[in-house]
Chain A
């Protein structure tokens, strides 16, 4: 819509000619100039400029929809009103059905906590037919760090849905729906994204998983502000992919240590009532999500996976629907499962903290349990 040609907009002939003579061919060119600039450039009066701008604006502006018709449309056309159930009952209940369509859902946590396991489980679920709770479609899995294990995928399938996966043809069919891409650089990733857009248009792909976003950027030589800029195009592109195809997009993110440069206090934040700023800083976790604040704004749902006093928790840190809840979970041979469906409500900034306490012991214990 932004690149609509002026020639296609029904304007009075005289002004249309002037626009083309001055090389203003798209609506974007015309709308980024102010009224006075246009008057100077086109040598016409204010009223003509105003009427031309209002006509162009009317055509370029998107149509409206009432929130009610939006809701009805979603519930009619989409699976469960636009949610993909994860199979974790407590989490699905908190998220009003599951992972939302059309927006980015982020999984962030320290290494080895279970992000890839969660992604494997979700990919498997998405490939299943709808009567098993799946999306009955293809899944594109972008595996940046080569962590995808098809053996583990089939093990999860066999333990969770033995009736399907025991039959070799069915197992092949389901596993065949999961397409794994392994880009080795950001440029390759960019290319694959553009190809993905095409296959999404053909409606065969029902979910996109990117594991992990942070690893793509950390490999690049640019630092600081320019790195943010390269990523901003990708963020925008992935968001628009998710939105026009209305599929769930799951992205994993890593953690890093907090630098002393990191702005943890905001200039507009007042001191807490008991003046205990000093003590709160001590208990703040030293881990933060990688990829910065622009990324944090772009994701709609953020699920923090962390380890605290020997147990693992999945916390709903950012969600437009769910209150800030934490669910204990563990990794089993059939994937990931919650130890309790009643989430514990976490108040204040604690919900965003990422803890890694007692994590090493868990990893060792977990490995024994898996074999």
Chain B
């Protein structure tokens, strides 16, 4: 591994190279005081550099020799893990089947479609269904709804919450088989209270929020789904530098993937479609899809 890949500042790197240290192995046998003298930096800085170097070296050697044992998981264990993962139902049996049980946790799912097809509806449904208690086969978690277009309608969320509670009472009654009124203690208001709503007005706010979610999720550990509606809206306008846009979007996608894995939650991204001019014909395709290919994509059509 080369020096230039170490996560240290540019001037430290420059000093290392001009002093003759071009590879990690050259740093393995030097003490921090000697290094400090050679680079003309403080001893604590030299210690820091050595620590970073040994850390990178350590992970590399373990990858080379012990990859079979460390960090790898057998396919059988993975299957077992996947089966025991809980899913969030979309309330449509067919869609749940296609998704393999529902929206998966620890994964990013992208849902795209033409205007008016029901993407926001599905987003709201998922934000409600994640709250289904464990007794009914749900996750009993809370939801984060990130709205970039202003399409979240509270009245509709209330209707969906009411219907969800009715479904649960129905299920309860069926289970008990005694046809008595089994009142669920949840109210639609309780469901609405567990949806954290963020309204984003620019792509800067979107980036900032996704950075901030790290802290937010550590404080609210019961959040089990993040719905972003829609993820590319702000990136389709006034972005002059296309390369920058691609970098920003892929950075965002990676962070979301990271959040999904670390906090064991599901991330649902809703996307618009646009017309793609290929050769002589026009095709409908997901907006900015090439950047978001870290997720499983579902397309909705009538």
Contacts and interface: CB of A to CB of B under 8 A. Distances in A.
Interface of A: 1-2, 27-28, 31-32, 34, 39-40, 43-46, 53-54, 56-68, 70-71, 74, 81, 96, 100, 102-103, 225, 232-233, 236, 239-240, 242-243, 261-263, 266-269, 292-294, 296-300, 302, 317-318, 320-321, 348-349, 352
A1 B204 contact: yes
Contacts of A232: 236-238
A268 B302 CA distance: 11
Interface residues of B, number: 68
Nearest to B272: A297
Interface string B189-202: 10011111111111
A80 B145 CA distance: 25
B208 interface: yes
Contacts of B273: 266, 293
B194 A66 contact: yes
Given A1-B204, A67-B154, A43 B116 contact: no
Interface stretch (B4-12, B86-94, B173-181): B4-12
Contacts of B202: 1-2, 28
Contacts, number: 179
B199 A267 contact: no
7 contacts: A32-B204, A60-B205, A66-B195, A71-B155, A71-B192, A225-B277, A293-B115
B248 interface: yes
A2 B189 CA distance: 33
B115 A318 contact: yes
Contact of A81 (B155, B212, B301): B155
B169 to A, nearest CB: 21
Contact of B212 (A57, A68, A242, A302): A57
Contact of B8 (A28, A45, A96): A45
B154 A70 contact: yes
Of B121, B192, B194, B200, most buried by chain A (CB within 10 Å of CB) is: B192
Contacts of B248: 32
B154 A58 contact: no
Given A58-B212, A67-B197, A102 B154 contact: no
A63 B34 CA distance: 50
A94 to B, nearest CB: 12
Contact of B301 (A65, A100, A268, A321): A268
A320 B156 contact: yes
Contact of B150 (A65, A102, A263): A102
Interface of B: 7-11, 48, 114-116, 120-121, 144-145, 149-159, 189, 192-205, 207-209, 211-212, 214-216, 233, 236-238, 244, 247-248, 251, 272-275, 277, 281-285, 299, 301-302
B200 A68 contact: no
7 smallest A-B Cβ distances: which pairs?
A: A318-B116, A57-B211, A2-B204, A60-B208, A68-B192, A296-B115, A67-B195
B204 A348 contact: no
Nearest to A269: B301
A318 B236 CA distance: 22
Contacts of B120: 320
Given A39-B7, A57-B207, A268-B301, 20 more contacts: A2-B202, A40-B10, A44-B9, A54-B212, A54-B215, A64-B144, A64-B198, A65-B197, A66-B196, A67-B197, A68-B189, A68-B193, A263-B275, A266-B273, A266-B284, A266-B301, A267-B285, A269-B301, A296-B114, A296-B116
Nearest to B234: A236
Contact of B155 (A64, A96, A268): A96
Contacts of A2: 201-205
A181 to B, nearest CB: 24
B208 A57 contact: yes
Contacts of A60: 204-205, 208
Contacts of A66: 192-197
Nearest to A261: B282
Nearest to B7: A46
Contacts of B192: 66-68, 71
B211 A263 contact: no
B283 A267 contact: yes
A61 to B, nearest CB: 4
A39 B193 contact: no
A186 B157 CA distance: 38
B8 A61 contact: no
A43 B10 CA distance: 5
B21 to A, nearest CB: 18
A244 B277 CA distance: 35
A103 B207 contact: no
A347 B212 CA distance: 42
B276 to A, nearest CB: 8
A266 B193 CA distance: 38
Contacts of B282: 261-263
A304 to B, nearest CB: 11
Nearest to A244: B201
A25 B116 CA distance: 40
Contacts of B275: 263, 292-293
A321 B281 contact: no
A232 B197 CA distance: 25
Contacts of A56: 208
B193 A67 contact: yes
Contacts of A348: 302
B299 A268 contact: yes
A293 B114 contact: yes
B30 to A, nearest CB: 20
A348 B302 CA distance: 6
Contacts of B251: 34
